[in-house]
Structure 1
Amino acid sequence: MTKYLLILLIGLTSLGCSSDDDSSENNLVIYNQTYCSDPWESMENNRDLVDQIITYFATKNIVISNVTIDDKGTQQVCLACFCLTGKRIILEVNKNDLEAIKEYGFQEYK
């Protein structure tokens, strides 16, 4: 319960601090999820994964505006942590955070 309150507080704070709601200030980035090499904790449930990603990047001072998870990636059937699950994580981030988010393996998505 506290985790959801923290996420709500972070979301409301980011909305309240926004000085410009122009969507051109945001960029889409994409990441192919691994089985266990991602810096945030792996979650089976997509809703829990979204919460985990938002919370993780909040601790890194990177605000995530939107998160989409789909199964359109390439799944690798292997047992190594770095193998791909087939899930793609698509985030919307402020253009000022673009270089920082790329350090975590995200790429611009157009």
Structure 2
Amino acid sequence: MKNQLIIIILILFGVLPSCKKDDASTIFYWDETGCADPWKQNSDDTEEKRKVEIKRYLENRNVNVKNIEFEFDQAKQQFCYACNCTTGRVIVVKVAGSDEQLMKKLNFYQ
């Protein structure tokens, strides 16, 4: 019985370290502009279509995208028609923690 217990403990210690741990997620933000964002966009796009374009843009740059959401911040809304004017829509992107430096290089902020 004692030998079986030792064998079970050894097996557990051998199996547990091999379990893959989930990569911690990190949240990044992007202030949407009228037409200066780096991904394909159209003012008539639905949120779902915007998510697809943003995800495609990031995945083409080897970012592991976990989720994309939108928030609205009235303080960031600019009432002008220049491409670089912000719309007030804030894009919230959840990515793998290992992609933090890459997201910063792509000008997303935390």
TM over 0.5: yes
**Paired-residue identity, %:** 27
2:22 corresponds to: 21
What is the CA-CA distance between 1:20 and the residue it aligns to? 2.9
Question: Aligned match of 1:80 in 79, 82, 87?
Answer: 82
Unaligned residue ranges in structure 2 (runs of 5+): 1-19
TM-score by length of 1: 0.73
Letter in 1 for 2:70: I
Aligned CA RMSD, in angstroms, stands at 1.4
What is the CA-CA distance between 1:21 and the residue it aligns to? 2.7
1:69-89: CA deviation from partner (whole Å, max 9, x where unpaired): 122252111121110011000
Separation in 1 of the partners of 2:41 and 2:21?
A: 33
What is the CA-CA distance between 1:104 and the residue it aligns to? 2.0
Q: In the alignment, does 2:99 pair up with 1:97?
A: yes
Q: Which runs of 4+ in 1 moved over 4 A?
A: none
Q: How does 1:59-74 map to 2 (within 5 A)?
A: 59-73=60-74, 74=76
* Number of aligned positions between the proteins: 88
Q: Kindly name which structure, 1 or 2, has the bigger radius of gyration based on alpha carbons.
A: 2
Separation in 2 of the partners of 1:59 and 1:34?
A: 21
TM-score by length of 2: 0.73
Contact 1:35/1:42, CA 8 A, preserved across alignment: no
What is the CA-CA distance between 1:105 and the residue it aligns to? 1.9
Unaligned residue ranges in structure 1 (runs of 5+): 1-18
- Partner of 2:54, secondary structure, is helix
Separation in 1 of the partners of 2:93 and 2:21?
A: 19
